[in-house]
């Protein structure tokens, strides 16, 4: 089985797509008309603009989509598709969930909305895994940061305000941990993008989506897109990119070959590292329950009320440690329930609550399956 994957921002290069523009002149002409500028000029002479989010995202989308058309013509359609951040829009268009022009209009709108959110930054932490980076953020006293991308076992991206990122990078350097500030203009895939997501959601609601002809793995859930594409792609702006988990999903499904279509091999090294540490998962006795964060978790039975209360606290801007402590005692019978940590700030509380929800959801699903009265009992996907 083969999967085709598309990179996100950071993969752009001067001169990218030139040969594709010559091969698909009609589509390029349509794209130029939508965007109001020449993609050929942007990609050949617009080096300064090419690192500007407003231009980077449309350029990566068009070159990725044309590259996919070229690949499909030569090698046929893959079994699965996935994209990293803006690359997910390429995957959705390649799968037929979006018309090329509709997708480009969305990407252009998304890029402009995101570029308007100022004073954000991101940094890559090289070496420690996601949980270690979470602990680093707390230990170094830069609590405003959030995990934005889980790229591989040794590469995690954090996002936050510009000053917070600078402080974090400096304290990592002092502690002997490698952290590199990225050349991006915002705190993408973090809570700072929620205002952008609210505005972008309107554009998504006005767009017609079709069921994908090829499964597309979503960054937000690390599972194939379903009928909630518009909701998921709105949440995509402020939710972490779960790339490592997405690759695990494809490997578990039987994908053995990955083809990256983009200006430079950005995803391929990550996939190689992820694959090296991957172990096949046994088929679950009950379909896993996934929580895309923007909606209450789908938990039924004895723990439904606890799940709903935890979700309300998770989305509460002023979540308090006292509220978390009170809810924590209600989950002591849940297998693997995390230890209580009395966080000092609302963001720390959110991290603890999320960990509790990520423990509760599969535990509740397993309990439903074990209950003879449950409709899930005895069913195997």
What confidence score (pLDDT) does residue 91 get? 98
| pLDDT higher than threshold 50 for residue 92 | yes
Q: What percentage of the chain reaches a pLDDT higher than 70? A: 91
| pLDDT higher than threshold 90 for residue 111 | yes
What confidence score (pLDDT) does residue 336 get? 86
- Please give the torsion angle defined by the CA atoms of residues 310, 244, 62 and 203, in that order, rounded to the nearest 10 degrees: 0
Banded model confidence at residue 282, pLDDT cuts 50, 70, 90: low
What confidence score (pLDDT) does residue 292 get? 60
Burial of 10 (0-12, 13-18, 19+ CB in 10 A): middle
Q: Which positions are catalytic?
A: 85, 189
| pLDDT higher than threshold 60 for residue 87 | yes
The Cβ of residue 340 has, within 10 Å, a number of other Cβ atoms equal to 15
What confidence score (pLDDT) does residue 379 get? 34
Residues contacting 347, CB < 8 A, separation 6+:
143, 144, 146, 191
| pLDDT higher than threshold 90 for residue 36 | yes
User: What is the overall mean pLDDT for the chain?
Assistant: 88
What confidence score (pLDDT) does residue 35 get? 97
Burial of 165 (0-12, 13-18, 19+ CB in 10 A): buried
Global pTM reads: 0.81
Banded model confidence at residue 363, pLDDT cuts 50, 70, 90: confident
d(CA 21, CA 23): 5
Write out the H or E segment, with its range, that includes residue 349: helix 346-370
């Amino acid at each position: 089985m083969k999967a085709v994957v598309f990179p996100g921002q950071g993969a752009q290069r001067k001169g990218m797509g030139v040969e594709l523009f010559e091969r698909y002149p009609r589509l390029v002409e349509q794209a130029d008309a939508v965007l109001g500028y020449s993609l050929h000029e942007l990609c050949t002479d617009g080096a300064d603009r090419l690192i500007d989010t407003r231009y980077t995202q449309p350029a990566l989308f068009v070159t990725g989509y044309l590259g996919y058309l070229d690949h499909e013509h030569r090698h046929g359609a893959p079994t699965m598709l996935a994209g990293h951040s803006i690359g997910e829009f390429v995957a959705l268009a390649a799968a037929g969930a979006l018309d090329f022009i509709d997708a480009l209009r969305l990407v252009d709108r998304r890029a402009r909305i995101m570029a308007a959110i100022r004073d954000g930054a991101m940094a890559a932490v090289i070496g420690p895994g996601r949980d270690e980076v979470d602990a680093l953020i707390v230990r170094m006293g830069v609590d405003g940061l959030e995990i934005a991308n889980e790229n591989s076992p040794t590469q995690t991206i954090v996002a936050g305000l510009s000053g917070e990122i600078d402080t974090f990078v400096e304290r990592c350097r002092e502690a002997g941990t490698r952290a590199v500030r990225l050349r991006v203009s915002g705190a993408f895939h973090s809570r700072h993008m929620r205002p952008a997501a609210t505005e972008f959601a309107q554009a998504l609601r006005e767009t017609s989506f079709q069921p994908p002809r090829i499964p597309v793995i979503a960054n937000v859930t690390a599972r194939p897109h379903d009928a909630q594409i518009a909701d998921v792609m709105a949440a995509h702006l402020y939710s972490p990119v779960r790339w490592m988990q997405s690759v695990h999903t494809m490997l578990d499904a039987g994908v053995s070959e990955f083809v990256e279509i983009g200006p430079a091999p950005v995803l391929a090294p990550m996939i190689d590292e992820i694959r090296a540490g991957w172990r096949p998962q046994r088929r679950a006795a009950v379909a896993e329950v996934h929580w895309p964060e923007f909606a209450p978790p789908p938990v039924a039975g004895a723990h439904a009320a606890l799940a709903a209360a935890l979700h309300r606290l998770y989305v509460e801007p002023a979540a308090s440690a006292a509220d978390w402590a009170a809810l924590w005692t209600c989950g002591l019978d849940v297998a693997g329930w995390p230890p209580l940590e009395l966080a000092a700030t609302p963001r720390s509380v959110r991290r603890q609550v999320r960990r509790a929800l990520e423990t509760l959801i599969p535990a509740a699903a397993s309990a439903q399956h074990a209950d003879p009265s449950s409709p899930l009992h005895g069913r195997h996907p």
